[in-house]
């Protein structure tokens, strides 16, 4: 799933206008990905529904749209590293020439991947379709960063009855400068779905490392 999502990211054009990564920076990111030493370039969290929604879904039973999402927040170096790691896994090394210009420009990219459906007692939890993604300060709740662009791609799973359940994955591009200007402290990734909001936190330490390799 991660490879499909990252290749999806690669094809998205962005309108960011900022200093691009040098060839040296790109090569360093590729090497980090190939060595799988890029945890310091990304932040991972799981976006979940609120406790009340999960409780109500459990009581209702059946198929419920209260599934969770794996969220990866990365700068441009982080996403290049991820691409390099997946390319190496497929024995198709990522080369400097293969890194497109949009991957060289400073940006904050949020990749949201729905988790596979899960069952518990009489309930099957399925992720709800994603409508939008924003970043929201936890210190000042009225400060919200809108993405430059959100692209979605369908995802489906087979169920035990031979049918399919569907959701989607999303990739949201944010202006790096706007994210830097969020109030100090933690911020939330807010995944807005047809069934409500799902959130996860990017902590202060993870926030700092996202920008450590950016200019």
So what's the pLDDT on residue 28? 92
Q: Which domain holds residue 137?
A: 2-211
So what's the pLDDT on residue 190? 97
So what's the pLDDT on residue 53? 63
Is-contact 75 176, C-beta < 8 A?
Answer: yes
| Three-class SS of the chain | CHHHHHHHHHCCCCCCCCCCCCHHHHHHHHHHHHCCCCHHHEEEEEEECCHHHHHHHHHHCEEECCCCEEEEEECHHHHHHHHHHHHHHCCCCCCHHHCCHHHCCCCEEEEEEECCCEEECCEEECCCCEEEEEEEECCCCCCEECCCEEEEEEEEEECCCCCEEEEEEEEEEECHHHHHCCCCCCEEEEEEECCEEEEEEECHHHHHHHHCCCC
So what's the pLDDT on residue 14? 37
Percentage of the residues of the chain whose pLDDT score is greater than 90: 54
Strands 164-174, 108-114: pairing kind: antiparallel
Q: Is the pLDDT of residue 162 over 90?
A: no
Here the tokens at position 5 are 């999502």
Tens digit of each residue's pLDDT (9 = 90 or more) over 4-25: 444 444 444 333 345 788 999 9
Mean pLDDT for all residues in the chain: 84
Separation between Cα atoms, residue 9 and residue 33, nearest integer Å: 16
So what's the pLDDT on residue 183? 94
- Mean pLDDT over residues 139-164, rounded? 87
Q: Is the pLDDT of residue 142 over 90?
A: yes
pTM for the complete prediction? Answer: 0.80
Higher pLDDT, 69 or 62: 69
Count of domains forming the chain: 1
- Mean pLDDT over residues 89-113, rounded? 91
Q: Is the pLDDT of residue 51 over 80?
A: no
So what's the pLDDT on residue 167? 92
So what's the pLDDT on residue 145? 97
Q: What is the largest CA-CA distance in the chain?
A: 55
Separation between Cα atoms, residue 195 and residue 159, nearest integer Å: 21
């Amino acid at each position: 799933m991660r490879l499909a999502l990252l290749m999806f990211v690669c094809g998205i054009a962005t309108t960011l206008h900022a200093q691009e990564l040098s060839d040296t920076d790109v090569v360093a990111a590729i090497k980090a990905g190939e060595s799988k030493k890029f945890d310091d370039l990304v932040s991972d969290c799981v976006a979940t529904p609120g406790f009340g929604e999960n409780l109500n879904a459990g009581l209702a039973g059946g198929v419920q749209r209260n599934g969770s999402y794996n969220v990866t927040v990365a700068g441009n170096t982080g996403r290049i590293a991820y691409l390099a790691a997946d390319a190496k896994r497929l024995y198709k090394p990522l080369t400097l020439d293969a890194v497109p210009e949009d991957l060289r420009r400073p940006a904050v990219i949020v990749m949201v991947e729905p988790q596979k459906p899960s069952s518990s007692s009489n309930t099957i939890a399925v992720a709800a379709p994603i409508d939008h993604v924003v970043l929201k300060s936890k210190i000042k709740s009225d400060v919200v960063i809108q993405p430059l662009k959100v692209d979605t791609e369908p995802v489906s799973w087979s169920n035990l009855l031979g049918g399919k359940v569907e959701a989607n994955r999303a990739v949201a591009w944010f202006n790096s400068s706007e994210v830097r200007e969020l109030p100090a402290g933690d911020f939330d990734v807010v995944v807005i779905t047809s069934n409500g909001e799902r959130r996860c936190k990017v902590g202060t330490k993870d926030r700092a490392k996202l920008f450590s390799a950016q200019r």
